[in-house]
Amino acid sequence: MNENIAYQKAMVLFERAFRQQMRGEFGDAVELYESSLLLHPTAEAHTYLGWTYGMMGRLDRAIEECEKAIVIDPTYGNPYNDIGSYLIENGEWEEAVSWLEKALVAERYETPQFALINLGRVNTHFGRYRTALDYYDEALAVDPLNRMALNLKYTLLGRLN
């Protein structure tokens, strides 16, 4: 099959997978992402497949998919943040930091507010409240209406008063 045709078919499957994932049809999403990856492996498809596994509570599998994404494209920031997020969910707070920091310096990362929010969460967990507030403020500088950053910031401020 022509490489361009394979890529186009893979992207169609990726889009269908994403729609299924957003509908909560995780089994269908996994199958579609895997079909997409068979035609043309991309960092995005591995990352989103990982996200689907994360939504299913299969965090080890989610991390594996993100690691595959990084091998394909180490400049793509999303899988670094996602690994950090999954480690936080596993209670591995300190281990998450280096992954989140890698996301922030990745060349191709369009949503740094998520890594900043996660670093804020880590610092809140460890009682480093001033640093956590700084991260929440940085996230809000990138995305001023981010509900998660706003909620975490004002919840923390409320605890400090």
Are 50 and 82 in contact by the 8 Å Cβ rule? The answer is yes
- Tokens linked to 62: 């989610």
Bigger pLDDT: 127 or 3? Answer: 127
Identify whether residues 64 and 40 lie together within a single domain. Answer: yes
Identify whether residues 92 and 65 lie together within a single domain. Answer: yes
Average the pLDDT over 5-27 and give the result.
97
124 falls within a domain: yes
| Whether the predicted model's global pTM rises above the 0.85 cut | yes
Identify whether residues 2 and 63 lie together within a single domain. Answer: yes
pLDDT above 80: residue 35: yes
Q: What mean pLDDT is reported for the chain?
A: 97
Average the pLDDT over 13-23 and give the result.
98
> Chain-centre distance of CA 129, in angstroms?
24
105 falls within a domain: no
> Domain range for residue 127?
111-161
Identify whether residues 133 and 69 lie together within a single domain. Answer: no
CA distance 67 to 52: 15
Tally of domains within the chain: 2
pLDDT above 80: residue 108: yes
CA distance 43 to 45: 6
For residue range 67-97, list pLDDT tens digits in order: 999 999 999 999 999 999 999 999 999 999 9
Average the pLDDT over 116-136 and give the result.
98
CA distance 150 to 161: 17
